[in-house]
Amino acid sequence: MTLFARALILTLALSAPALAQEANVAFGGLTQDTSLPVEITADTLSVNNADGSAVFSGNVLVGQGEMRLSAAEVRVDYATDSRAIERLHATGGVTIASSQDAAEAREAVYTIDSGLVVMTGDVLLTQGQSALTGQKLTLNLKDGTGVIEGGVSTTFLPGKN
C-alpha cells in the first residue's frame, strides 16, 4: 500500500466520526478549579434583589483561574440560600478561552458547582490549528472533556513526517 493510500485511509477514518451529529473532544486546556474566585468587570451593573440576579453589560470579562469568558452581557444568578454564585448566563458574542483552547458561541450558561458550560448557537471550537463547528458544545471544566452536537464539522490537519 502506498504512503498516499495509507494517509487517505487514516484521514477518512479520523474524519468520519466528526461528520456525525455529535463528537467527543478533549479540553485539556480548559480544565478549571471551579472553587476559585470569579472576577467580573463590565461597563454597567444592574442588581435585582427580587429575583436574586445581577446583570453585567458592556465589555463583560469574567475570569476564574486561567479561564476567561467575554460577552456583551452576563447575568449572574445567586443561590437562594446564600450569596454564592450559582450560574452565569452569557449572551452576545460569547468567547471562552484558556491558554490552549477557545470556544465561541451566541450564548453560554456556566453552572459553577458542576463545572458545566453549555454553549449554543453557531459554536466554533479551536484547539491549536484545528477547529470544530456545531450548534451545541457542553464542556466539563472539572475533567477537561466536552461534547459538540448538531451538524458537527471539522477539518483535521495531517501530521508531517
Domain range list for the chain: 3-155
The number of C-alpha atoms within 13 Å of 128 and in the hemisphere containing its C-beta is 7
Q: Is 104 within 8 Å of 124 (Cβ atoms)?
A: yes
Q: Which of 26, 10, 11 is nearest to 137 (CA)?
A: 26
Does the pTM exceed 0.85?
no
Q: Which three cell numbers stand for residue 43?
A: 461597563
Q: Which three cell numbers stand for residue 124?
A: 466554533
User: In sequence order, what DSSP letters do the residues of 5-28 get, joined into one string?
Assistant: HHHHHHHHHHHHHHTSSEEEEE-G
Render each residue's pLDDT in the chain as its tens digit; 161 residues. Answer: 433 333 323 333 343 344 445 555 555 555 566 678 889 999 999 998 887 789 999 999 998 888 899 999 999 988 877 778 889 999 999 999 887 788 999 999 999 888 899 999 999 988 877 888 999 999 888 888 889 999 999 876 666 55
Amino acid at 127: Q
CATH number for 3-155: choose from 3.90.1150.10, 3.40.50.300, 3.30.870.10, 2.60.450.10: 2.60.450.10
- Would you put residue 4 in left (φ > 0), alpha (ψ -120 to 50) or beta? alpha
